[in-house]
Structure 1
């Protein structure tokens, strides 16, 4: 490639086309895909390309860095930058097992992260970001938490919000603070695996309460409360993990009434409320003194933000919770909390979450089209609950899928009782590339359509 002639792949930068460095990187990717740039081709020096495109050098540097991140380019020292050979994937597992937010289209996460951290460092004392913090978050962090919870509850007293290092830590601290070893915790027959893990570790017993297509059955809950005198009831009422059921408003009111009548405390773990389409108000709306409400950023924004907000109305209960939390997780990392607060208060979190919401809905449409009558999702959120045909068991299908390079989660991972459910959970966000997600769903659909092969032992 000669430097004195404009490259044939040279992009036309447009004002409304997004960040210029991404336009350049996208043009490079399209040229490689289309064959106008081939492995081993030398690219123009960065200053030369910057002059041709009439952009600053930093823009081209960022474009080349992004292209390297996509494995399109490789540097060869003083000889320059070249188109890289295709990366060989030695392992091609399509991970449909991990519930993480999908990468939103058009959001430059690297830039968002750099800008957020830059603002944090400009406005904060570096020493405060690197020392111990007590009390469940700074005043600013609690205000950010109140702002985050406002769509669910309206205006809140920030003093009622506790900042935690993730929802799992919040669940464990509530279990320690509000129950004793041997106490019963009521939950639905299939539920978040982290609840079972914490209960097992702390010596609490989980008893399953019958659920139907609308969630936990109120009459069965009241019966179980009177029979077992539980220390806690655990619910995930919005886009429930794993069934994707959203409990309706009337049932939420009935459960809140039971919590008040039986004087039982309820943990409302609600990670997906902000991703759902017009969800009902939280159960905590009708039983504020009985319900401890948890909302995490990990499912709406990114797992790397290990920040959750817990709404606890009673000051005495709040202090008990903090004592329990400090026994194993003294604080949220101050830098992480400060970044979360910055994003929430400057609106970046809303923009990122809207991107996640749009991408999740697009992926649900893809899953509905491919899985057809087997699709068991709500159209939003991060996962699909897939009930299996009788000739497959969930563990059997999970093993068969694994042998074909697909990771899914069988129903056994979510079981809280002795009843077995023949289903798997499919997570739609953990595969970054839509084309790979589509391939994984199609491969899974073909697997479901055929009967399992007889088990054979390999002899070598």
Structure 2
């Protein structure tokens, strides 16, 4: 009978046995996926080395306080990802992984030159792909490398000063000029003195609402709206009043009725590639809405988050009524979410002064460092190159979605990296989102966007999957669920 060696395994010659007991985030999705994800993280950072034998399924189930079958599914998922191997009677162990494989801490991060020493980063979370986030799709590594080179150049050219100072709310004159250059295709001739730099579009929206409204005031908005507006209204104590929509967007008749009945201080509008519906308002609809707001003396907050991605879209509302529109254009959707830079264009200098005060009172300022990066990318053309790469990859992903998903259920646009999926009866939007999450795909049901009753639909972010292959898998999972009834989709027994 073989002797036990507690330091190396159950028997002489066995691989070492890990006393592995991961910390699992409960409530964020299926437990088996959370266990598989924790395993992937520990493999990537070297806590579980190749050849290490994992605890038996019953042992790990007891340690974690979960059902045996949960661990069985977790190990099966880890095997599917190529993380582990196993044989009946011999247990489960960590596989050898080739250098440079996903999560290998020795591999350079995508888009960075190989001679950079990189800190460890978690591997791609393949168990749950969070398509509830509306992120631009990844661009090729070469383009990312050029961006990092330009950031390094800022540091070499005396960039330390950018880290060691505050600056006025709204940015420096040079920052505002860069903003005017970025906005020029959509807002030609915009005066840099009326343009303010903000730390992201959410900050710009907060500043605009803060400058225009007092607690208790009303803001009119379409029945389906950006969740950030809902959050901002709650923080500032504002009332959101729904403007009914038709297939063309919020209707002028509904806005007229809301203005007459509720006297809102502002009308919030996302006219181009609207989230969640992907709808772009026609020129005629834009003109009609602008006219209604002007007739009632209601200011417009135009959230042009996706305008830079849609060069064929009609002019922004701020070009149709520059005297009455506060225009917000973030760079998160069109260049880089982590940049946290947005441009807030005021109708006049007086309003710009109020907006600058609101920025100072709420978020103080945009980072001088990120503004310098944004200005560099705008002036050297890299921001436009990234935007164009995002547009090209978005078009390919939208085409894939249209090929795989039932066309009668999908609202999409080649320039929008999200789509609006109608849940067919007997599915409900929340039910479908729940079953998708159980299958490893997170989506946002319509309730997150609704000011009133929510339709049976959900939004899918096509940019989140790291590759087209991952996106294809998510889309087929979605299509398979749609082909079943909710009763057959559930795994509850």
TM-score computed with the length of structure 2 as normaliser: 0.74
CA contact (8 A) 2:132 2:459 kept: yes
Cα deviation for residue 328 of structure 1 reads 2.1
Cα distance change of structure 1 residues 440 and 40 upon mapping to structure 2, 3 Å threshold: closer
Distance in 2 (CA, whole Å) between partners of 1:393 and 1:308 is 36
Residues 1:444 and 2:478 are matched in the alignment: yes
Give the alignment of 1:120-199 within 5 angstroms: 120-124=154-158, 126-199=160-233
Match for residue 403 of structure 1?
A: 438
Give the alignment of 1:10-49 within 5 angstroms: none
Cα distance change of structure 1 residues 206 and 125 upon mapping to structure 2, 3 Å threshold: same
Match for residue 309 of structure 1?
A: 343
Residues 1:425 and 2:459 are matched in the alignment: yes
Give the 3-state SS of the residue equivalent to 1:320 in structure 2.
helix
Residues 1:383 and 2:401 are matched in the alignment: no
Per-residue displacement from partner, 1:363-416 (whole Å, max 9, x unpaired)? Answer: 000000001322210122120001110111111111111111110000000011
Distance in 1 (CA, whole Å) between partners of 2:141 and 2:165 is 36
CA contact (8 A) 2:245 2:251 kept: yes
* Greater relative contact order (CA < 8 Å, ≥ 6 in sequence): 1
Cα distance change of structure 1 residues 165 and 89 upon mapping to structure 2, 3 Å threshold: closer
CA contact (8 A) 1:244 1:378 kept: yes
Match for residue 371 of structure 1?
A: 405
CA contact (8 A) 1:259 1:287 kept: no
| Among candidates 288, 294, 298, match of residue 328 of structure 2 | 294
Moved more, 145-154 or 90-99: 90-99
| Among candidates 241, 247, 251, match of residue 213 of structure 1 | 247
Give the alignment of 1:322-361 within 5 angstroms: 322-361=356-395
Per-residue displacement from partner, 1:233-286 (whole Å, max 9, x unpaired)? Answer: 100000001000000011111111122211110100011111125000001112
CA contact (8 A) 1:376 1:386 kept: yes
Cα deviation for residue 108 of structure 1 reads 3.3
Distance in 1 (CA, whole Å) between partners of 2:216 and 2:335 is 36
CA contact (8 A) 1:145 1:163 kept: yes
CA contact (8 A) 2:435 2:489 kept: no
Distance in 1 (CA, whole Å) between partners of 2:159 and 2:387 is 28
Structure 1 gaps, min length 5: 1-32, 44-63, 71-86
Distance in 2 (CA, whole Å) between partners of 1:456 and 1:235 is 38
Cα deviation for residue 128 of structure 1 reads 3.9
Give the 3-state SS of the residue equivalent to 1:453 in structure 2.
helix
| Among candidates 350, 354, 363, match of residue 320 of structure 1 | 354
TM-score computed with the length of structure 1 as normaliser: 0.79
Moved more, 240-249 or 116-125: 116-125
Structure 2 gaps, min length 5: 1-81, 83-94, 111-121
Distance in 1 (CA, whole Å) between partners of 2:124 and 2:259 is 53
How many residue pairs align between the two structures? 385
Cα distance change of structure 1 residues 313 and 452 upon mapping to structure 2, 3 Å threshold: same
| Among candidates 427, 437, 458, match of residue 392 of structure 1 | 427
| Among candidates 406, 412, 417, match of residue 447 of structure 2 | 412
Distance in 2 (CA, whole Å) between partners of 1:323 and 1:240 is 29
Cα distance change of structure 1 residues 367 and 457 upon mapping to structure 2, 3 Å threshold: closer
Per-residue displacement from partner, 1:52-111 (whole Å, max 9, x unpaired)? Answer: xxxxxxxxxxxx9984547xxxxxxxxxxxxxxxx99886112211111101236431x2
Distance in 1 (CA, whole Å) between partners of 2:238 and 2:99 is 63
